Amino acid sequence: MKLFRYGPPGDERPGLLDAHGVRRDLSGVLGDITPHTLGPDALARLARLDTQRLPEVDPAVRLGPPVGQIGNVLAIGLNYADHAAEAGLPLPRQPIVFSKHTAAIAGPHDEVWAPPGAAKLDWEVELAVVIGRSAWHVPEADALGYVAGYCLANDVSERAHQLEMDGQWIKGKSYPTHCPLGPWLVTTDEVPDPQAVDLWLDVNGQPRQRGSTRTMVFGVAYLVSYLSRFMHLLPGDVILTGTPPGVGMGHKPPLFLRPGDVVALGGGVLGEQRQRVVAAPLGAAP
């Protein structure tokens, strides 16, 4: 099952992509796709719907992030062996964990803002995990049972803010629009093996990233189990699982995004995203 949210930012409505690829409105069934609608029973009820009776959604309408009211965005650094190599860094012995501010979350095709003075704006295609059930000290063997589904993510990063300033990576990861999610929340029945997802990303039509979740240092089940040892994972929490090689800072010389650039990325059943980079509008907060 593929779920989505559509409409203006902050006023999205729930939808479902039917078996024929037609977008259907779920507003008559539930108010929104939120942490309260991600549990196994709630998803099972949606799966039993006669989708042909649901109203169609205009495919030209904006898609928002596929889950609303996300509480936490956790991310894993250097989780692909070949990405660590291009960064010139050793493989981590344990997952490198950081977070992104939830105000960075955006729709899959929204514009990406280049911060004022940004010099090293980078891209990172990733598999995102959406937690569906409260997870606390979960064994690795059971961990995937706590996942509601998966979606595509672009972990947009300002590398100068991330790596060249004192403090935590979160400063280079949290600018508004720097966490596009979607287009779909793909439930686990359609992703039987999260370690078999191919990922790609192009910039201005030029191939930049090609990889597979097969080469993760720490797989999805391990990450869910590991994180649950240190924090109480809640429904709606999102885990960005790392990026394959080909990021801008890994090129020689490095390549970074500028206003006018177009980033396209995809992940098979997860769907595709497309973002244009623009100078950040200043003044009122988004």
What percentage of residues in the chain have a pLDDT greater than 70? 99
Q: Is residue 215 part of a domain?
A: yes
Per-residue confidence (pLDDT) for residue 285, from 0 to 100: 64
The residue type of 69 is Q
| Segment 124-137 mean pLDDT | 98
Q: Is residue 198 part of a domain?
A: yes
Assign 203 to helix, strand or coil: strand
Q: Is residue 9 part of a domain?
A: no
Q: Is residue 226 part of a domain?
A: yes
Q: Is residue 179 part of a domain?
A: yes
Q: Which domain holds residue 154?
A: 65-279
Q: Is residue 71 part of a domain?
A: yes
> What CATH number corresponds to the domain at position 185?
3.90.850.10
Task: Please give the tally of structural domains in the chain.
Answer: 1
**Average pLDDT score over the chain:** 95
DSSP code string of 217-278: SS-HHHHHHHHHTTS-B-TT-EEE----S--GGGSSS---B-TT-EEEEE-GGG-EEEEEEE
Q: Is residue 16 part of a domain?
A: no
Tokens of 275: 């973002």
What percentage of residues in the chain have a pLDDT greater than 90? 89
Q: Is residue 56 part of a domain?
A: no
